[in-house]
Chain A
Amino acid sequence: MTSTGTSIVIVISAAWAFAVAAPIVAAQKEKASPSWTKDNLVYAELTKAPKKAVVRRNPLENDRDAVAAGANLFDQHCSECHGEMAEGTHKAPSLLADLVQQATPGTLFWVLTNGVVRRGMPVWSKLPEPQRWQLVSYLKSLAPAEKSPQ
């Protein structure tokens, strides 16, 4: 094999070793910490929203289509991690929990916009602002869980 060929093989292997290692490490970490601890760390993010963000009102709260549109957006972008019914998975916490359901629309909008990057939730500011409010409308329409997971 030529030196170019060898280098190609080495770098491709290294790249994919990284790509493969990341989920494995994540899986190991997951085994090491109970999910309620992880979930609480994410829920704690709700308390970090600045006051200005907390008091923001949902401009689409009277929009009859907002919940349906939000449900579509949730299905497309959120259900993979939070579950199809927002019940939570091993990757992300339930959005039916009291802590989420009792949060103000402004708080949910703030968390959606900023993500919880250290805990694996990406920023969603790439969705235009009205779409993030539609998602908030959908989240607020979900029935609260009978028992909070905390």
Chain B
Amino acid sequence: MKMLKWFCSLYATRLHLAWLFLAATLVSSAQAQESPYIVTYDHYLEEPGSLEVEYFSTFGTQRQGNDFHAFWAEFEYGATAWWTTELYLDGQTTFNDCTIFTGFRWENRFRLLQREHFINPVLYIEYEQTSGADKILKEVEGHDVESDYAIPNAIARKQHDHELESKLLLSKTFKGWNIAENSIATKNLTGGNPWEFGYALGASRPLALKASAHRCSFCRENFIAGGEMYGGLGDRYAFGLHDSSHYVAAVAAWNLPSDWTLRLSPGFGLNDNSHCFLLRWGVSREFSGFGDMIAGLFGGHQ
């Protein structure tokens, strides 16, 4: 049985790596200037025609249950300069339990204003179909608490959620600092669940604002560091910070000249309803020729 679990975990990892390799061989790349946030969104969208392939992991501690390692792959495409569409595939391994696929999400972000303003709003709309075993903690909403995640996979996976999630992303970059605030409203379309709410806040800054005259991996401008805080705000019947979980996390990103971005984020629960510790990391690569490649297949420019 242990061998089977190990094989499943290895298979999932290899599947993700295969996706990355396939994309790498098909299109050219461009150095990304990615934000370090894992949960919070700023107002920057994917460049038009670019595909960003990302892999993220979250290790979480669990009281009264088994620790877990949740992972997801993201395929983020810049359809236009004002619209980014993204597909997520989620999975998780609960230690001493099993590895399972937990669902998918389809996310769209729309830039609402043409130019930069004092605050820049972006509308986020997502449909997600996940099982109760989903543990990626991409956001916290409603009355999400740690004990929800202690249910064994065999039971939790039987619950199917169809959720419509909307966010208003507000963000501003000033003197190198990015400040972002996300308001979340989620409706579970199964059953008569009420609207649930959540929030995410983030601030980050590159370690240097000027670029070096020569390309380098370890230049300070390639590193962005900051922090984020996120949590639930209850539902329409019981709104507020109570009876939900809240987290604070340090975030860091390393934008490599070789077109890869690495992210690391240790996070800590702020109350008894939260997981004590979450360690997140991710790797991503941006491919700028994807749109052209597809257009070329249909007789457009390549």
Contact = CB atoms under 8 A, between A and B. Distances in A.
B301 A27 contact: yes
B2 interface: no
16 contacts: A11-B106, A15-B87, A18-B79, A19-B294, A22-B79, A23-B292, A23-B294, A27-B301, A65-B212, A91-B49, A117-B111, A120-B48, A122-B78, A128-B209, A128-B210, A134-B210
B44 A30 contact: no
Contacts of A123: 44, 115-116
Interface of B: 28, 30-31, 33, 35, 42, 44-45, 47-49, 77-83, 85, 87, 104, 106, 111, 114-116, 127, 129, 160, 173, 175-176, 178, 206, 209-215, 221, 257, 288-289, 291-292, 294-295, 298-301
Interface residue SS majority, chain B: loop
Contacts of A60: 210
B31 A77 contact: yes
B131 to A, nearest CB: 9
B300 A27 contact: yes
A91 B81 CA distance: 12
Contact of A27 (B78, B87, B160, B299): B299
Contacts of B295: 23-24, 26-27
A137 to B, nearest CB: 11
Given A4-B160, A117-B114, A128 B176 contact: yes
Contacts of A4: 129, 160
B30 A15 contact: no
B79 A11 contact: no
B31 to A, nearest CB: 4
Contacts of B77: 19, 22
B221 A16 contact: no
A69 B216 CA distance: 11
A99 to B, nearest CB: 20
